Amino acid sequence: MELRVAKTAGFCFGVKRAVEKVYKQLARKKGEKIYTYGPIIHNEEVIKDMQQRGVTVLRTEEELDAVTEGTVIIRSHGVEKRIYDKLEAKHLSVVDATCPFVKKIHTIVKKESGQGHFIVIIGNPNHPEVQGIRGWAGKDAAIVQNAEDIPTLSINPEKKVCIVAQTTFNYNKFQDLVEIISEKSYDIVVLNTICNATKERQTEARSIAEQVDAMIVIGDKHSSNTQKLFEICADACKDTYYIQTLDDLNLNQLGSVETVGITAGASTPNNIIEEVQNNVRVIF
Ligand code: F3S
């Protein structure tokens, strides 16, 4: 009998780095106030653990305004430049856990904007990462999520246009949107800022699911990337189980299978993956 665990299961590089920064601050600054601006990841188990150790999650800008001392950790999605300015003006200690791939987009957008170029961000306007990126561009910027948004763009034809993408945007859709914008014959520079972590995780999950008798997908029920992983695996393997923790898994269901695969969403911590893995191993 064989158990195959996806190498890409669980935290991506940026999420892992952000979570580690929180625990490092907790260890270094015992007794001091530590805040995260927004929940550091979309996993209630992890947030609960951090809160129990003394971290306060600031959920709104008003809550941030009320902070007078301590350390504020900026989460992996990043924030607008305005927020950095605010934190500096308040003389708060800042730990920047913005994913370096997101930070790179901030730098690009700031530079291109400074050169007088129009910035087009391809992404979801309601996502904090996209709002953060928008906050590094000047007035001449727009967010495009769908083809319908393109006719509403009002760009001075003399201006150069710089296009960037939300890190988790679908690559094919990005290409389609860039093509439509290109038809408008602007002077365009396209920077593909999509991060490969999500795609690699999905590709590996499908490949494992195709080769096993049963597949286990671990992640928060509200995590959209875990839901997507489940759909991909269920499509390739009819015995696919979606669990949040080991408690949701009925090990008897796996009694008669020969091979089992395991993957997990980007916000699933390693200890939950390991616990499932160890318990599945026991029945083999
Ligand atoms: Fe993760 Fe950073 Fe990519 S947070 S998905 S490694 S952009």
What is the predicted pLDDT for the residue at 223?
Answer: 78
CA of 132 to the centre of ligand 1 (A): 15
Q: How far is CA 27 from the centre of its chain?
A: 25
Greater confidence (223 vs 270) lies with 270
CATH number belonging to domain 2-10+197-283: 3.40.1010.20
Identify whether the C-beta of residue 18 lies closer than 8 Å to the C-beta of residue 40: yes
Q: Given the residues 2, 20, 45, 129, select the one marked as catalytic.
A: 129
CA of 101 to the centre of ligand 1 (A): 7
In tens, the pLDDT along 141-185 reads 999 999 999 999 989 888 999 999 999 888 889 999 999 999 887
What is the predicted pLDDT for the residue at 207?
Answer: 97
In tens, the pLDDT along 194-245 reads 999 988 999 999 999 999 999 999 998 877 788 889 999 999 999 999 999 9
CB of 18 within 6 A of ligand 1: the answer is no
What is the location of CATH 3.40.1010.20 in the chain? 2-10+197-283, 101-194
In the CATH hierarchy, which top-level class contains the domain 13-99?
alpha beta
- Give mean pLDDT, residues 68-75: 96
Alpha-carbon distance of 119 to 139, in angstroms, equals: 9
Question: Closest residue (by CA) to atom 3 of ligand 1?
Answer: 195
Residue 268: count of CB within 10 angstroms of its CB: 29
CB of 167 within 6 A of ligand 1: the answer is yes
Identify whether the C-beta of residue 56 lies closer than 8 Å to the C-beta of residue 26: no
CB of 14 within 6 A of ligand 1: the answer is yes
What are the CA-CA distances from residue 97 to residues 37, 103, 135, 179, 222 (Å)? 10, 10, 17, 34, 23
Average pLDDT, the chain: 93
Topology at the third CATH level for domain 101-194? Cobalt-precorrin-4 Transmethylase; domain 1 (3.40.1010)
Alpha-carbon distance of 12 to 197, in angstroms, equals: 6
What is the location of CATH 3.40.50.11270 in the chain? 13-99
User: Is 129 known to be catalytic?
Assistant: yes
Q: Which residues contact 205 (CB under 8 A, 6 or more apart)?
A: 6, 8, 215, 217, 229, 232, 233, 261, 263
Identify whether the C-beta of residue 215 lies closer than 8 Å to the C-beta of residue 208: yes
Residue with tokens 């990841």: 41
Alpha-carbon distance of 246 to 260, in angstroms, equals: 15
In tens, the pLDDT along 84-109 reads 999 999 999 999 999 999 999 999 99
Reading the block at residue 154, the tokens are 């009002």
Q: What percent of the chain has pLDDT over 90?
A: 82
